[in-house]
Every structure is written in C-alpha cells, then in structure tokens.
Amino acid sequence: MSITRRQILQMVGTGLVATQVPLATASGLFSKSTLKPPRLKAGDTVGLINPAGATFHTDDVNIAEETLAALGLKMKTGEHLMDRYGYLAGTDEARAADINTMYADPGVSAILTLRGGWGCNRLLHLLDYKSIAKHPKILMGYSDITSLLLALNAKTGLVTFHGPVGISTWNEYSTDFVRRLLFEAKTVNMENPKDIGDNLTQTKDRILTIHDGLAQGKLWGGNLSVLTSMVGSDYLPDFKGSILFLEEVGEDIYRVDRMLTQLKLAGILDQLAGFVFGKCSNCNPGEGYGSLTLEEILDDHIKPLGIPAWYGSMIGHIEDKFTMPLGIEAEIDASAGRITLLESAVV
C-alpha cells in the first residue's frame, strides 16, 4: 500500500567556473546574486543522494545508474543512500552529510536526488551553505526536493533545477529538456505538447488561461505543500516581481485552497509578476456537493491579482515534464501557455 504525502505529513505532525561567486556577509549568509553551476558533459560523475523518503527497492538505484549511463554520465552514490529511519532515508544528520559531501567532492559534477517523499525541510539548518557556494553544482529533483531547491538559492544564489528524480520516467520528452538546459546551456521555450492524436481537437494537456498577458521575472516555485510549509522561514527567496510556478499531487481541493490562502496572507501572491500552475494530479473535489473546483479556487486566488497566469503546464508528478530552473529570468505568455528562458541556467 502506497503512502501519500498527506499521510506522511500527518505522521510527522569541477569543469567551468560559476558566473558569480557570492560574498560572505557579517551574518554568515551570502549575497543573492545569481550563481550558475557548470553544465554537464559526457563522462561527468553525478552524485546520487536520497534526502527525503526512504527507498525500499535496491533496483531503484540500478535504474538511476542506467539512466545516467544512457546520458553518458557516471554515478557515485551517497554513503547513506540506502539508510532508513522510519519513513525517512536515514537520520537528518546522515542525509545532510550526503548533500554536504557531494558538494565538497571535486570528483562530483552534479547532484541528482533519487526520489521525493518527505524530510528535506528537516535538513535545511544542517547544510554547509558556505561550502555549497564555493562549489556550485547542479542539483535536480522535484516534489519534496522543492525545499532544497529554494533554500540553496535563498542562501547562496545557486540556480537549482525542478526536474526528474532518479526513479522518474526519463522518456524522450522529459530528457530533451534535461539535455538542452543542463548539457547544452540553451535558452528554451516550454509549451505543452500539441499532438491531438486521432481526435478532432486537443483533449490532453490543455491549458486554462486565468488571466492573459506577458510577464517577466525570476522563476521560483515547486510543490505547493512543501513551499507553504517553509513560509515564515529564512529559506525562501525574494518573490517580488517574480514568476511563481506550483504543482501538487493527492490533495483535496480544500487543502489547495488553504495553502493558496496561506500564500496570500503571507503577502507572497501580491508580490508576483506572473503565475503558472502545473498539474494537480489526483486533486479531486471528492463526493457530495460541498466542494469548490480547482478552477474556482484559482479564480478566487489568482484572477484578482490581475497578472498573467494559467493552469495546466507540464510541471508536476507526471511523466512528461519540463525542467524548470529556479532563479533564472524568464518570460511567460499566459494566452499561449509558454515559458521562455531569457538566459542560460548553466555556464
């Protein structure tokens, strides 16, 4: 029987140089200037870590290694990759140690997470941000990995990547974005597939424009429940004038309503220049007549902002997904459902 994020939360109650090196401040934090990691190239070694939920299948690691090999990459596993502490992939100290070790290791060029689950928020105070800033590397994952992606950028300015994890489906669609962004340093357009199959019109992966228009700003975002759990901490970036993208899985509509309300009350939504909601997989109104729909919730919270916004982008717990760089300037077209990177995410 699989365990949902909600159930887990209830149980819990070197290559090229970076473009800019952050400067230490008296507080021990770092400047928020953009810090781009080196791009990937054939023969590089990728560190595989598991900072959130435990994996119970050793074949998950084999799948990740074979995937990386198909990309022309080598793999190095974290010392605690297969640890287990309840539903977590080891103790907080062990999981944090794997992150810190991979960033400090000169033989590791990038870092991939094996899976999501829950647990990354528990590590944020244990990470060596000074070392991470000195050794900028690609970090990629999604779902619970959202907290690492946001925190590393907030503390060091490092561009991080909301994209496939080791056990994801690395099909042609998803892998193409990984190659173009992480290997080729391309500035890409991201639009939903337009294939209608043998239908008279498109019925799959459609977008719903909430408010039309164009907007520019830095991309931030990730999983809605993880992001809202970080509100009030100093591990979130500055959202002023930014484009926020969100995704979710397995949440009742009233919970999505509650979390968007939290972002509203925290002042985050009012700071945005643009908004993109990806997929809300298995987010249903439920039985009876008492529920709002997701469309109504987005109309309530997002439409009054008057900013370019849409729902249905290829972001989330889905097989065909974009790779979204956090901290990079982008432009969105809410009528077309298009995200355009205005600069490369790696050097």
Three-state secondary-structure class, residue 158: strand
| Cα dist from 302 to 207, 248, 327, whole Å | 15, 16, 22
Among residues 242, 236, 286, 283, which one has the least CA distance to residue 262? 236
Contact yes or no for 143/172 (Cβ under 8 A): no
Specify the 3-state DSSP secondary structure of 254: helix
Residue 247: active-site member: yes
Beta strands in the chain (DSSP E): 45-49, 74-77, 110-113, 138-141, 160-162, 189-190, 208-211, 214-223, 243-249, 274-281, 309-311, 324-326, 329-333, 338-341
Tell how many helices (H) and how many strands (E) occur in the chain: 9, 14
The C-alpha atoms of residue 86 and residue 74 are separated, in whole angstroms, by: 30
Q: Which residues of 105-117 are buried (b: 16+ CB within 10 A; e: fewer)?
A: beebbbbbbbbbb
Check: CB of residue 110 under 8 Å from CB of residue 141: no
317 is catalytic: yes
Whole-angstrom distance, CA of residue 111 vs CA of residue 225: 23
CB 275 within 8 A of CB 303: no
From the list 135, 162, 301, 317, the catalytic residue is: 317
Q: Smallest Cα–Cα separation from 247: which of 273, 286, 220, 285? A: 220
Q: Which of 109, 143, 168, 242 is catalytic?
A: 143
Single out the catalytic residue among 65, 247, 248, 331.
247
Exposed (0-12), middle (13-18) or buried (19+): which is 343, by Cβ within 10 Å?
A: middle
Quick one: three-class SS letters along 260-323?
HHHHHHCCCHHHCCEEEEEEEECCCCCCCCCCCCHHHHHHHHCHHHCCCEEECCCCCCCCCCCC
Question: Which residues participate in catalysis according to the annotation?
Answer: 143, 247, 317
